[in-house]
Amino acid sequence: MGQSFTLTNRLIFAPFFGIVCIVQQAAPGKPHRYYVAVITGVSGREFKSPLPDYFVNSAQAPELWSPNIYYQEEEMKIISMSLVVKEPYAHPLFTGSDVTRQVLVPDSKEFDVNIVNFGKGVRNKFHAHDTEQILIVTSGRGIVATEKQERVVAEGDVILIPAGEKHWHGATKDSEFSHIYISRLGSKLTQLED
């Protein structure tokens, strides 16, 4: 009660599904939400007038707004790290081949969030990022190093690496090592060691 649904001007005609559009939901005192709507039983030719006018003036509008529209709201997602598949992560940046990656949030529009798992003694080579990088140690013991220092890190440690800082990180010789890395999506990595 008190809610209204408004079709935006983002409209796609998909022959198999019918009309697909973006719907805006407004409720008093709440932020607007957007949904993907599939409108069945309507052909593209019925939308000769502007879309909002069609629904204001059409006798079919009440019928279309009932069971013929399906909504899928973009929602919060919770990922269980233990269920994310480890995939081999072969890259010239690493000093060995015993490295796997778990892509945690593939649908993020802003961040690259993965777990990197290093075998004993494996590290990446000196490199830098054009944006900040955050590492969150999830298991084992590792080393995070810059040109000036080497620090041993363990589960629960959080490392902030400034944009442009030359650094490397990886496992100690006697321990495997895993960390979550978070960086801005599309950030550039430059390898600085052969």
pLDDT tens digits for range 36-71: 444 444 444 333 334 444 444 444 443 333 333 344
CATH topology of domain 81-191: Jelly Rolls (2.60.120)
- Which amino acid, one-letter code, is at 186? G
Domain boundaries, the chain: 4-73, 81-191
Residue 64's CB is within 10 A of a number of other CB atoms, namely 19
Q: In 3D, which of 42, 43, 95 has the Cα closest to residue 69?
A: 42
Q: pLDDT at residue 150 above 60?
A: yes
**Which of 26-30, 127-131, 132-136, 176-180 has the least mean pLDDT?**
26-30
**What letters, b where the CB count within 10 A reaches 16 and e where it falls short, cover 90-125?**
eeebbbeebbbbbebbeeeeeebbbbbbbbbbbbbe
Q: The whole model's pTM is what? A: 0.63
Measured CA to CA, the distance from residue 143 to residue 126 in angstroms comes to 12
Cα→Cα distances 19→22, 66, 140, 144, Å = 10, 15, 52, 53
